[in-house]
Amino acid sequence: MIMDSRKILIIGHQGQVGWELRRTLASLGAVAAVDQPDIELAGADSIRRVIRGHQPQLIVNAAAYTAVDQAEDEPELAMQINGIAPAVMAEEAKRLGAALVSYSTDYVFDGAKADGYGEDDAPHPLNVYGRSKLAGDQGIAAAGGGYLIFRTSWVYGSRGRNFLLTMLKLGAERAELKVVDDQIGAPTWSRTIAEITAQVVALLLSPAGLSRVRPSLAETFAERGGLYNLTSAGSTSWYGFAQRILSRRASRAGGKCAKLLPIPSSHYAVKARRPANSVLNNRKLNETFGLRPPAWEHSLELVMDEVELRG
């Protein structure tokens, strides 16, 4: 055990990433997990009370307001949960001498770049959700403590609400599905995010991975922490993602699936604008920690194996 005497607090354990984190972080310390209604993410006092009650050495914020279109109608709530809450967590972490891990999004970018975005590229979100997540990133950095922010994209898994499960459901119910083909990104398995989070935390806590012994996790994370992209390798469109999902289902189940039709974003009415290109490059993650996330196609096969085993 690397940090079996230390306390880890996961905030938002009911979400896709949070659920996986409970397993991947279990070998690194004593894990406690909270979610609503035990913590009110839109209330700073509630957040402070929970963190002070647990006195963790590591806080992992897996909570977020993720309803991208609904955020256009609820900008204040989205900002409270995605923007203000992470900053409060960072302030409390610094007060305790603890470290913070949090998660950001590809939607902080406008999609105008031709190739993959790096950590140093200037954000320019197109929607309320992206602006609220960017505010959270900035609030964490401004708190001045030790932190890791993992910026990821197109998160899915075998649980919760996500594109994979929606496509499987609609593909079985409908004869035809129209899916956007001019937005490009990297579908990323929630388990990949959780597993790489645990690997990075373990590396940061290993004496061999540091230039000198550090007295607190906050100082340890300050040495090589910061912002890192973390997405599956490769990229595709939403149409390409859907095509892979339904072709796999058809080949295994032997039944009919919906016919897929590619459409431009302009033909799909949504409230929030999305970036045309939200591919993130993982170069910094690889150069700093020697970690390479798997290809999105490989991860999708594993997730669908899991879905099919459950029936």
Active site residues per annotation: 129
**Distance in angstroms (rounded) separating the CA atoms of residues 230 and 186:** 10
Type of residue at 67: A
Sequence-ordered list of residues with C-beta below 8 angstroms from that of 33, at least 6 positions apart, any chain: 9, 10, 11, 13, 18, 22
Residue 282, both tokens: 């993982």
Type of residue at 290: G
Instruction: Compute, in degrees rounded to 10, the torsion defined by CA atoms 249, 304, 11, 28.
Output: -170
Type of residue at 136: G
Give yes or no for a contact between 41 and 49, defined as CB atoms under 8 angstroms apart: no
What interhelical angle do 44-54 and 85-96 show, nearest 10? 30
How many helices and strands, by DSSP H and E, does the chain display? 11, 12
Question: Cα dihedral sign for 90, 92, 97, 101?
Answer: negative
Burial of 85 (0-12, 13-18, 19+ CB in 10 A): buried
